[in-house]
Structure 1
């Protein structure tokens, strides 16, 4: 399996200075497993809106419309009181539509192993070699009984051309 990692920083753009990255998820169709709000609110480029889903192993998925070699995923969990709900989250990439919540056959980009502490800090996942796929999922993998809320999800590729 490809090496993956996760890190948290406040200035994603500065850390990628000079890289020809393109964001490919904004406005693309997004899907939830049942929902308390619209899935598209997580990739609408408005950090004041959010998507929320739960309680058991909630997931969010975006259809990028074509296969891309994905290198970076940038997530802003909902801020304020609810930020602790972002915990033990996996980001995976796959080639085919799934609606059963089992993304275990998809390639893992990264795992956020702890409980998010808030502070308007984005969570960044990266894959140095890239992971090719059309669909990207974000899912809590523990059995914590509460919803998860995503304010902003961005998917970055080098160059921006489909594979």
Structure 2
């Protein structure tokens, strides 16, 4: 207890200790006692608090950068906020939260992006996960609250009115070191932007704890030198995902859906993506140039259905999937075939569209090889998912 000479000397009262400075030399300071409620001579003070725990070590996929316990990915393909939000979620994460503790890190990361092809420079703004909805205010895309003491809006922003909107990192020069935010409508298709995803870093597998086996006490027997048998040549396997076994149908099959009546859960306003586009005979997978794909609102479990006019023996359903953007939106699609106009009462055809299959241009779902499914109605629905549904063509192959 490094008391100054003669201290403590303030009697048997509630008191504290202070660092006593008698000269400008702090290198060997000592203590002086002082009553707790001493108002005449007040002093400076030193606080302490527990240090933050060290960040959780983890691993990030290739192309992602780690900061503390999270991984970040900067996407430099220009898409809408809704498409960026869907992409980040499909990667197991969300659009980045530009909070005060990661703002400097994000500044450094985006400063390293190549913006030489951006003309004008603000074509390379980056979406983050901030979203505004009338009546709810600003939240992060996962529904968590926003720290309103840190919202670095650019001067004059936000200015897009009381509509559903998002925030993007605004770039007005080549200096990213102190970027700010600009608001943008969620469904803004005219000016698209880059984006930043974030997700939790994965915990690496611990090293094995089992001790290695002891060395053998006897030399192992020499290997047998039997002449290897020549393997029969193998047919090359298909690289389609998933790989389907060969299937020979007992009868010729043909498309019975073209031109038949259809409907879907909703029509995206002003997008001309009606349900009939999926059975117009046009397989162009470029939604905007081909103008031949369906387009629903972003909603929970959207669906599409075709009425074949009579009951058919249905062997497979072939979907032409959108390719100019957002092919992953068809992930979790489920097909049903049956005679009930209420498609939820009809049995499921084949497997759900998952994984890499959801990015293929042509997706074939088999309802049966030798034994077909019977039905007048064929439906396609996204299961347990809030998303838009695009179908560029649907062929119902029946015998």
TM-score > 0.5, shorter chain as reference = yes
For residue 109 of structure 1, what is the aligned residue in structure 2? 349
Mind listing any 5+ residue stretches in structure 1 that lack a counterpart?
A: 1-6, 10-14, 159-163
Q: Determine the structure 1 residue equivalent to 2:191.
A: none
Whether 2:265 is the aligned partner of 1:24: answer: no
User: Aligned Cα RMSD in Å?
Assistant: 2.2
Per the alignment, residue 132 of structure 1 pairs with 374
Query: Is 1:57 the counterpart of 2:289 in the alignment?
Result: no
Q: Which has the higher strand share?
A: 1
1:15-66 alpha-carbon deviations (Å, 9 max, x no partner): 8799511210000001101212210001111123100113211100000000
Mapped to 2, the partners of 1:64 and 1:52 lie a distance apart of: 21
Does structure 1 retain, via aligned residues, the 8 Å contact 2:332–2:383? yes
**1:156 and 2:392 correspond:** no
Q: What is the deviation of 1:142?
A: 2.1
Structure with the bigger RCO (C-alpha within 8 Å, sep 6+) is: 1
Larger Rg: 2
Contact 1:26 1:43 in 2 (8 A): yes
C-alpha distance in 2 between matches for 1:8 and 1:40: 28
CA distance in structure 2 between the partners assigned to 1:76 and 1:28 by the alignment:
17
**Number of residue pairs aligned between Structure 1 and Structure 2:** 140
CA distance in 1, matches of 2:329, 2:380: 13
Q: What does 1:39-78 align with in structure 2 at a 5 Å threshold?
A: 39-47=275-283, 48=290, 49-53=292-296, 54-78=298-322
List structure 1 runs of 4+ shifted beyond 2 angstroms.
Answer: 15-19
Unaligned residue ranges in structure 2 (runs of 5+):
1-239, 284-289
**Corresponding position of 1:4:** none
Q: What TM-score results when the alignment is normalised by the length of structure 1?
A: 0.77
